[in-house]
Structure 1
Amino acid sequence: MTMTLTLTRAQKAAAILVAMGKPSASRLLKFFKQEELKALIEAARLLRTIPQGDLERIVAEFEAEFTEGAGLLDSADKMDTILNESLSPEEVNAIMNGRSADTTPAEPQSIWPEIEKLEPERLANFLAGEHAQTAAMVLSRVSPQLAAAVLLILEKPQRGEIVKRMVALANVPDAATRIVEKQLRERVLNTSSTRDTSSGQIRVANMLNELEKSQLDEVIQDLEAADTPDLAGVKARIFNFDDMPFLQQKARVLIFDGLSTEVVTLALRGADAELTEAVLSSIGARSRRMIESELSQGAEGIALADIMGARKTIASTTVRLAREGAFSLPSAPIAEAA
């Protein structure tokens, strides 16, 4: 005599769904609640072989005529197949982990758009204490402009090692990438450990860049006397036309390459010999002769406001190029003057 199987209600429902086949079962699964689906999955995984007689009794209990074939084999595998073809992997995972599919925690947002907004100095300070391979991986993920600006800040030996590794850098394993991103998020982007005052420093520096040299020196002294926080960051963004001799030659060449001879001539009106030579040595021979010829005629009839406006134009161009990573501003002369 064949023994009758003792099945729970969930196991009986799972058995019928498997018997119905994938097309019909798939349509019905959409009507089950999350708790019911979880119970069905767990019940189906306990099923193995259901004899035809037991299956008929189960179907009779549900008052339906779904049976076909000679019984059910490997019910758990068939139920998994139905679920995988009916629901997305996220939905199945959500059901088995006891949470709603539409409330599954999203993947952490990429940190690289936020890294791209950082000041080069801040990223360079982090990379200076890291292994060259880590620095190479980070700089390979940011824009060429930011990477170039950071490299110029780093020490030369470290800079060469990083570039060498960037050339040979292959695909970075996901695990390693996650570790680096975690460190960047915690040590660079986490505002609780590092207060980002770069936007305020830029605003103050832009204001101070509008002042004449004597006015700037006086304000810097006042700021130091008031023990202004982050003043070093402000100084690093200040540039006055009179500081042009402190720039490297290649930086000056880049600056004056995009400026008209009229603006340069106007800015040099009344300039001392050292400043004039620093500017003229950075432009072509033909342009230099033209400017020297204009300067030899004197500055009579030329408004001081026009001269200062030309100098501010050159200073603004210098600050913009430095911010884009073309070179670094010489902050030392400003500090010494103050």
Structure 2
Amino acid sequence: MTATSDLPSLTRTQKAAAILVALGKPAAGRLLKFFKQDELRALMDGARELRTIPQAELERIVAEFEAEFAEGAGLLDSADTMGTIFSETLTPEEMTALMNDGPIETATDEPKPIWPQLEQIEPARVGAFLTNEHPQAAAFALSKLAPSFAAQVMIVLDKAVRGEIVKRMLALNPASPTAVAMMEAHVRAALIEDDSGKAASGAQMRVASVLNELDKSQLDEVMDDLASAGAVNLDAIRAQLFAFEDIVFLDQKARVTLFDGIAADIVTLALRNAGAELTEAILSAQGARARRMIEAELKADPGNVSANDINKARKQIASTAIRLAGEGALQLPQTQEAA
């Protein structure tokens, strides 16, 4: 294979692909950013068709482009090398679009939309922030949030300002782009980019997850100890706590939501040795047929049922309540009392 016979057989795209491979990943990667989408696809196609290129032929190609390259070995597996350059230079989205003939979306420095991020923060913290804002600004912020999350925030708003905020939401007009940008920047700085606040929130969640593993009597004792020790943010921690015995404090709608997906045998096991008030609160949330079945099981001989099994069933129900509260499907008793 001679240079004179083989060189003309290469297309201009193949020659460009050969030069990029010769440049190496760092330099080639920088150059790829200047190519258009159709050019990138053509380069990939050209690289797939490249054969082994001797050094002499590579030098002729380089001479055609009037560039100077250092000496190197002949090129092997050009398609694989080009593929590696692409995959290590382009983003996964760009690479997927390139291989699937879809539009390439280039990355931007624009921040992510703020309102979905805000919905990942505890409602109590968002409510405390909005309470100290102008009612018009608070009304605008609530209007940008998902209804389920906005409702959770509204419940924990200070009663002195809640009415004024809701009144302004009813008469809210579109805000100017400048006002929207200023409000979003303010919220981002105060809630999204406040690392100390996020760290505190995470610490509260970790403490709450530990405390939720305790029995009711143990939980009350630990919370009293924390209060005596002067622990801060106890209200935020308390808002994430829920024990099986707290079911009596849920309203009827919340109880029905809680037990909608819990099997009757779990409910029966959890009700073993439960007090009359708690038992009735749970049975009232059952359908007529399920209630009759559970009541019949409770009257029958339970057999070899351990206290540990009963506690496991109760913790499963309590954990379900905490999960549903996190999803906005119901409110835990502490949140209800705060309203």
- Which TM-score applies when normalising by structure 1? 0.59
Distance 1:140 1:277 in 2: 39
Aligned partners of 1:108, 1:211: CA distance in 2, in Å? 41
Select which of 136, 140, 143 maps to 2:143.
Answer: 140
Structure 1 position 329 matched with structure 2 position 337: no
Q: Does 1:240 align with 2:243?
A: yes
State the AA in 2 paired with 1:331.
Answer: Q
Q: Output one character per residue of 1:92-127: Cα deviation in whole Å (capped at 9) or x when no partner.
A: xxxxxxxxxxxxx95565433432321111111122
* Deviation for aligned residue 1:201: 1.0
Structure 2 CA distance for partners of 1:106 and 1:242, relative to 1, 3 Å = closer
Q: What is the identity, as a one-letter code, of the residue corresponding to 2:221?
A: E
CA shift for structure 1 position 303: 2.0
Q: Report the counterpart of residue 279 of structure 1 in structure 2.
A: 282
1:177 maps to 2:180? yes
Identity %: 50
Unaligned runs of 5+ in 2: 1-107
Q: 1:129 to 1:262 in 2, by over 3 A?
A: same
Query: Superposed, which structure 2 residues align to 1:174-323 within 5 Å?
Result: 174-191=177-194, 194=197, 196-323=199-326
Distance 1:333 1:250 in 2: 13
Structure 1 contact 136–165 (Cα < 8 Å) conserved = yes
Tell me the distance in 2 between the aligned counterparts of 1:307 and 1:151.
37
Asked if 1:120 corresponds to 2:108, the answer is: no
Give, in whole Å, the separation in 1 of the partners of 2:225 and 2:162.
37
Q: Report the AA paired with residue 254 of structure 2.
A: A
1:310 aligned partner, one-letter code: A
Report SS of the residue matched to 2:241: coil
- In structure 2, the CA distance between the partners of 1:249 and 1:158, relative to structure 1 (3 Å rule), is farther
Q: How far apart are 1:224 and its partner, in Å?
A: 2.9
- C-alpha distance in 2 between matches for 1:176 and 1:226: 44
Letter aligned with residue 222 of structure 1: D
Per mean C-alpha deviation after superposition, the further-off stretch among 208-217 and 268-277 is 208-217
2:255 alignment partner AA: R
* Matched residue count: 230
Q: Distance in 1 between the 2:170 and 2:258 partners? A: 30
CA distance in 1, matches of 2:288, 2:134: 46
Q: Deviations over 1:243-262 (max 9, x none)?
A: 11111221111101121111
Q: Distance in 2 between matches of 1:226 and 1:189?
A: 30
Unaligned residue ranges in structure 1 (runs of 5+):
1-104
AA at the equivalent of 2:185: K
User: Cα RMSD (Å) of the superposition?
Assistant: 3.1
Deviations 1:257-316 (A, max 9, x none): 121111111110110101101111122222111111111114332122221111011100
Contact 1:152-1:328 within 8 A present in 2 as well = no
- 1:150 is aligned with what amino acid? V
Q: What TM-score does the superposition give when structure 2 sets the normalisation length?
A: 0.59
8 A contact 1:270–1:299 mirrored in 2:
no
**Cα distance change of structure 1 residues 159 and 272 upon mapping to structure 2, 3 Å threshold:** same
State how far apart, in whole Å, the 2-side matches of 1:151 and 1:185 are.
20
1:83-102 alignment runs, 5 A limit: none
- SS state at 1:200 partner: helix
Cα deviation for residue 321 of structure 1 reads: 1.2
SS at match of 2:214: coil
**Residues 161 and 292 of structure 1: CA distance in aligned 2, closer, same or farther (over 3 Å):** farther
Q: In the alignment, residue 156 of structure 2 is paired with which amino acid?
A: I
**Native 8 Å contact 2:244 2:315 kept in 1:** yes
Matched letter for residue 226 of structure 1:
A
Question: How many Å apart are 1:158 and its aligned residue?
Answer: 6.0
The one-letter code sitting in structure 2 at the alignment partner of 1:330 is P
2: distance between equivalents of 1:291 and 1:107? 56
Deviation, structure 1 residue 188: 3.1
- Which whole-Å CA distance do the structure 1 matches of 2:253 and 2:160 have between them? 21
* 3-state secondary structure, aligned to 2:333: coil
Distance in 2, Cα, partners of 1:264 & 1:254 = 14
